Amino acid sequence: MHNTYSPLRDKYPEADITLTLKELLYYTVSLSDNNTCDILFNYVGGTEKVDSYIRSLGIERFSIAATEKEMHTHFPSQYLNWTTPAAAVELMELFLSGSLFTPPYQDLLYTLLTET
């Protein structure tokens, strides 16, 4: 794990743990854990895969190009990830319509987002 904001790393400094996907999502969404965000990026195949998936939904005015580690170790990388307010709303509307995930996953993510 890298040296950036990480409640998970602080809780388990030895890093000898196993977590469920649900737990990783909780740390990422609810606690803004940078390390678990990067673990999830790695799990799905990287920022390019996430960027490509969101574009496949018809959303264009955004960029997901750098991991948390990249942004932490190379300051200019912070500016590679961006969105417009309209694109963020488009994605949230798709999510709220229930068309992105099956009900158990939709409900989990909705709960994580609304309890934050």
In a domain, 1, yes or no: no
CA atoms within 13 A on the CB side of 19: 19
In a domain, 2, yes or no: no
What local confidence, expressed as pLDDT, does residue 102 receive?
Answer: 94
91 burial class (0-12, 13-18, 19+ CB within 10 angstroms)?
middle
Q: What is the CATH number of the domain that holds 51?
A: 3.40.710.10
pTM score of the predicted model: 0.90
- pLDDT of amino acid 14: 86
Residue range(s) defining the domain that contains residue 57: 7-114
Residue 79 lies in a domain: yes
Averaged pLDDT in 10-residue chunks for the chain of 116 residues: 87 90 96 96 98 97 97 95 98 94 95 93
In a domain, 59, yes or no: yes
The confidence score (pLDDT) of residue 1 equals: 65
**Structural domain tally of the chain?**
1
pLDDT value, residue 57 = 97
* Alpha carbon distance 4, 14 (integer Å): 16
Residue 63 in any domain: the answer is: yes
